[in-house]
Every structure is written in C-alpha cells, then in structure tokens.
Amino acid sequence: RQWDLVMWDNRCTMHRARPFDDKTYPRDMRRVTLMDVAPTLEQQAA
C-alpha cells in the first residue's frame, strides 16, 4: 500500500527468485547499513 515501509534483516532472510511485475508495481528499494547490533528488549530485561 502507498506509504508502507518494509525493513528486514538480510542475515535472517532466505533469498528466492520469484517473478515480479515491476512495470505495474514500482518499488523504491534503498540499502541501510547499521554499524552495530543493539540488544533486543528481552535481552535488556534479563
């Protein structure tokens, strides 16, 4: 949907080639690189 934002962690993603109609559904994909990994809320509570 318009204005949706999707982010994922490529370290935990399985890649698989699938057809995609990019002429009908344009995508704007940008790379974001984080310098470090912060603890999760569960790790902070422990």
Residues 39 and 46: their CA atoms lie apart, in Å, by 11
What pLDDT score does 23 carry? Answer: 85
> What digits encode the pLDDT tens for the residues 2-45?
888 887 777 666 666 777 787 888 877 787 777 776 677 776 66
What pLDDT score does 17 carry? Answer: 72
What pLDDT score does 7 carry? Answer: 77
Domain ranges of the chain: 1-46
